[in-house]
Chains A and B, each alone.
Chain A
Amino acid sequence: MALLCVRGPLKTLAGGQGQHRLDGETIVAVIAGLEAEHPTVRGWILDERGSIRRHINVYVNGERGAELTPVGPEDRIDVLPAISGGEQ
């Protein structure tokens, strides 16, 4: 099972836990697993299209990934807000 790491409000929504062991062969599948365990997360990382929100970055073992990036059982996935300064 992959290790999914969240922080900030996502950690709060995910039962107060920052680390989650989840099945899934892609980033989206692992996040969907988190949503299944903690429905309050739904809509916060992925939008209705199943896309990672524009200003959220997801990393697999430190490399930035996309929705369908493969994930193995030993992988670590980090979900982080993007650095999107300037406009805000």
Chain B
Amino acid sequence: MTELLVGTKKGLFVLEGAPGEDFRITARAFAGEPVDYALRDPRTGRALAGVTNPFYGPKIWFTDDLTGDWQQAEGVELPPGGSAALERIWVIAPAEKEGRLYAGGDPGVLFQSDDNGESWQLNQALWNHPTRPQWQPGGGGLCLHSIVPWPGDPDRLTVAISAAGIWHTEDGGRSWETGNQGLMAGYLPEAGNEQPLALCVHHVERAPLRPERLFLQFHGGVYRSDDAGRSWAEIGAPLPSDFGFPLAVDPADPDSAYVIPLVADLDRVTPEGRVRVYETRDAGESWTPRGEGLPDADAYLTVLRLALARSGQGSAMEMYFGSTTGQVFGSADAGGGWWTLANLLPPVHSVTAN
């Protein structure tokens, strides 16, 4: 039995089912509220959700019982009395240290919890970084959307901000430096590419068995880094488009990555009306479309950056993704074949799988 936490524009939906079958909605929370991200921490079983109530602002909530009540976490705020307010929580991620989680949000902020998500502290070094005045928001705001720990080392962490590029810390978040060499922003004039920060990274994942390797979906292009995210090489030329949002890896294979191309930044739908997940197993040398069971015609879907999830690894890896038109698709064989497990949900913001 697999459990999905699906964050939507109209609440959190918990879906349960067996691969290949319809999934059943077993719980709904935050009815009517935009749930930007939700996950179950595999270490504790606790569920956490980032919810942006249109009236009352962004909060993180947690529960140990998905059918029960949720509690509001403390400390999810910017320093009071300043000139900025927290706009949204984009992502929540377990860290490499017991009890620790990270949360990323808009405006380009990272929070840390050391009590399993009950209270949070703003990462001051990133908040006060001297380059912050140069950071520019992307279309979705100044969002910190990717949090990539280093397996086994709680002091090393990579985050990505749209549109302020890649940031690394090796001292547990006390200092940060960029890692953007090789990323080329086609949306800037040539002279603009001398700016090291205005980089619209869409999503980043690390290959756990080879942690110095990362894959990145950019605003234009798919990239790979083999030096822990210091420099990047474009690997997306064979794809039908250089634009897209989500990216996933098979943890068992450091040469693997999956993306879902969309036509372009001005036309954010699946190309040619066909839904395809593209897979590489040779670190980006070649890409194979995986579409068996996915809509093959008249399907103009948008899949957001946190709406592609996986569970397990290897040939039996389960994959799930949701669309802004309310479908959720699943695969039980690492993308070889797909089925539709939900068809009439609100616009899907995020999917996580357990």
Contact = CB atoms under 8 A, between A and B. Distances in A.
Contacts of A73: none
A53 B56 contact: yes
B265 to A, nearest CB: 22
Contacts of A74: none
Interface in B56-78: 56-57, 59, 72, 76-78
B77 A48 contact: yes
Contacts of A49: 80-85
Interface string B79-113: 11111111000000000000000000000000000
The number of chain A residues touching the other chain, given as a range, is 10 to 19
Contacts of A84: 54-55
A45 B85 CA distance: 12
Interface of A, helix, strand, loop or mixed by DSSP: loop
A49 B57 CA distance: 13
A47 B56 CA distance: 9
B54 A88 contact: yes
Contacts, number: 44
A40 interface: yes
Contacts of B80: 48-50
A53 B82 CA distance: 15
Interface in A26-67: 40, 43-45, 47-51, 53, 55-56
Contacts of B81: 48-50
A47 B57 contact: yes
A53 B55 contact: yes
A55 to B, nearest CB: 5
A53 B83 contact: no
Nearest to A42: B77
Interface of B: 54-57, 59, 72, 76-86
19 contacts: A10-B56, A43-B76, A44-B56, A44-B57, A47-B57, A47-B85, A48-B77, A48-B80, A48-B84, A48-B85, A49-B80, A49-B81, A49-B82, A49-B84, A51-B85, A53-B55, A53-B56, A82-B55, A84-B54
